[in-house]
Copies of this chain bind each other. A is one copy, B any other.
C-alpha cells in the first residue's frame, strides 16, 4: 500500500510534455513500476468532451486530470500528466489535494523560450494563433502562469529529451520516490 507520486508536466504547446511524458512512462515500466501517462489531448477526449478553452472549462478539465492522477497515485502508481495547465491556482489546488492523500506532487516546468516555439512550430499552431486564426491560444492570446517554485525547470529549447528525462528520473530517485535500478525495484516489490 505504498504511495505513488504525481509527476506534473506543465508548459506551453510544443514544450515537449507529451514526448517527455511518453519517455518517462517507458522508463517507469522498465523499472517494473505501475505508471500512467494522462495526456492532455487524450484526456480531454475521454473525460472532457464538450468543454472549451475558457478559463472555467480549462480549470474543470485540469481538476478532472488532477482527480484521476490522485486516484492513481494514492493507489501506488506513478501518474504523469502532460497538459498545458496554464493556471497556477489549479495546479496548486491539485498539489494541496494530493498532499491530503499523502501523495507527492512533483511540478516539472518545461520552459523553452516562446521564440523557439514560434520558430519551430511543428504543428503550425503558433503561426495560426499569431495570425488570429486560433483564439484562446496559451502563450499568445491566452495567459500562462509559470510555476513559482517548480521542483524541476527544464529549458527544452536547449536541453534534449534524453537530458530532460534524466533530470526528472534523478530527481525522483534522489527524493526516494522511485527505486534507483531495476534490481532495487524488483527487491522492493517482493
Chain A residues near B (Cβ < 8 Å): 1, 32-36, 46-47, 49-50, 60, 63-64, 67-68, 71-72, 75-77, 189-190
Task: Tell me, in angstroms, the Cα distance from A31 to B151 when the chains sit together.
Answer: 35
A164 to B64, CA, bound (A): 32
Inter-chain contacts of A50 with B (CB < 8 A): 50
B contact residues around A71 at 8 Å (CB): 36, 68, 71-72
* Interface-central residue, A32, A46, A67, A189, by most chain B CB under 10 Å: A46
Copies in the complex: 2
CA distance A179 to B62 in the complex (A): 36
- Asked if residues B34 and A75 are in contact (CB atoms below 8 Å), the reply is yes
> What's the least CB distance linking A56 to chain B, in Å?
11
CB within 8 Å for A34 and B67 given contacts A49-B60, A60-B49: no
In angstroms, Cα B33 to Cα A55, docked, is 38
Q: How far is the CB of A112 from chain B (nearest CB, A)?
A: 30
Are B1 and A34 interface neighbours, CB within 8 A? Answer: yes
* Contact partners of A76 in chain B: CB under 8 A: 34, 75-77
B residues within 8 A CB of A67?
A: 46-47
Please give, as numbers and ranges, the residues of chain B lying within 8 Å of A189 by CB-CB distance.
Answer: 1
In the assembled complex, the Cα of A63 lies from the Cα of B190 at a distance in Å of 34
Shortest beta-carbon contacts, A-B, top 4:
A75-B77, A34-B75, A46-B67, A1-B32
Closest to A3 in B: B34
